[in-house]
Amino acid sequence: MFTCVVLGLFSGMAIGKGTEFFTSFDYGPTISIMDRARTGPATVIIQGMGVGMVSTILPTLILVGCIVACNALSGQYGIALAAVGMLGTLAVSLSTDAFGPVADNAGGLAEMAGLGPEVRAKTDSLDALGNTTAAMGKGFAVGSAVLTALSLLAAFKNEVTHDKPMNFEIFDPILLAGMLLGCMLPFFFAALTMMSVGKAAAEMIQEVRKQFREIKNAKGVTLLEAIQKVTAGEHLSEEDDVEPNSDRCVMISTRSSVKEMIAPGLYAVFTPLIVGFLVGPRMLMGLLAGCIGSAAMLAIMMGNAGGAWDNSKKLCEKLKLKKTDQGKACVVGDTVGDPFKDTSGPSLDILLKLMAMVSLLIAPLIDGNEDWKLWYVGLIITVLCLIAFGPACGQAREQPSHGRGQEDPVV
């Protein structure tokens, strides 16, 4: 049992080291993304996706080895102990994960304060390191989520079979159908969260464009005109200054962060209820198994690809390529990578644990039931889910975009 704990501890460390290789700009994968930027944003996206997909190999092999070894040493309980061992360094992992945002905000403060380029260069290096440590924290979170979900899955099986033996063979059509459904769920969940980021970003950009055109000072000078004067080298007096409405932008961000998560949250909670009551525990078991495998791979790919895209942009800034076409292509990759590594990827870990926990909670209600025996309960839950899910999806309709003219700049 002690060996299982140690295996979990070292597995988490090994996953972090592998993540560092694929996301740090000191190594080949991230450098290759910057090199592809010479031919435009499209090749940056292609290379980054490839790096993210390849990066799933090492964590998967580490997790597989840990699971097999712990199962041989102490069975299912050994796997649960490995999860405890991996979570033993949680305090350190959370600290390293917080390092990136702190360094990033320090760089933003240095830029707003008008400090010299040498200060910004130092904060950029710290920010690049923070991207790597954040990706390591996300990889650690995925590994612990997989081991925890496996333990919850074993507990679910014991709960639904202790009164009546049930067939959970992999070639069972019901279980296989549930597995296929489970493999699809993380992709749909990631799509919902990623499109939510796109909607919030579009609303923010439209608000900023509107302020550029409409906010004026006492002399009738618009915000855009004031910025153009400053860019041209003119000095603005205190009377000529134009104050943007930053509170409005903060409100858009905070409101979207809550509103846009209603639909994914309902989806994660209601899906196990619908499958468990509508069909039965065998299909729910397959659903959880498919979700664990699919969500783990997708979360690792998104987290590492996003970190590699971000650090490729930082590498361009370090090499003073920021204002070249190569640097602009890497900025496009970073824009795509942000929802990958900050929104969709980390949320999949929560999806894994939440669905497994909901399934375990409803296990006594579907204990030993034959397939379709409680279909009417599942049908009622499905109707309730559709009633709640429809308005949640319709709340955040994308506002019509304004026409882009000379006075309507791209922010």
Least confident of 245-254, 304-313, 361-370: 361-370
Q: Token pair of 323, please?
A: 């204002």
Determine the 3-state secondary structure of 25 from DSSP: coil
Q: Could you read off the pLDDT of 96-132 as tens digits, one per residue?
A: 878 888 888 888 888 888 888 888 888 888 888 888 8
Q: What pLDDT was estimated at residue 143?
A: 86
> pLDDT tens-digit profile of 279-298?
888 888 899 999 999 999 99
Please name which of 331, 299, 307, 325 lies closest in space to residue 25, comparing C-alpha atoms.
307
Per-residue pLDDT, 377 = 77
Q: Where are the domains positioned within the chain?
A: 2-195+256-394
pLDDT computed for residue 370 by the predictor = 65
For 195-210, the pLDDT digits (tens) are 888 888 888 888 888 8
Residue type, 313: K
Dist. CA 295–CA 146, nearest whole Å = 9
Residue 267 has pLDDT above 60, yes or no: yes
Question: pLDDT band for position 410 (50/70/90)?
Answer: very low
Q: Six-digit token pair at 191?
A: 């799509």
Contact 306, 18 (CB under 8 A): no
Look up residue 340 and give its DSSP letter.
I
Per-residue tokens: 220: 């009738």
The answer, yes or no, to whether residue 394 has pLDDT greater than 80, is no
Give the separation between CA 98 and CA 174, rounded to whole angstroms. 43
Q: Average pLDDT of 327-340?
A: 90
Average pLDDT across the chain, whole number: 83
Nearest Cα residue to 341 out of 188, 193, 207, 164: 193
User: What gap in Å lies between CA 325 and CA 220, rounded to an integer?
Assistant: 37
From residue 87, alpha-carbon distances to 14, 109, 137, 330, 341 in Å are: 14, 34, 11, 35, 21
pLDDT score at 163: 59
Model pLDDT, residue 398: 44
Supply the pTM of this predicted model: 0.82
Mean pLDDT of the region 161-168: 67
**Residue 312, class by beta-carbon neighbours within 10 Å (0-12 exposed, 13-18 middle, 19+ buried)?**
buried
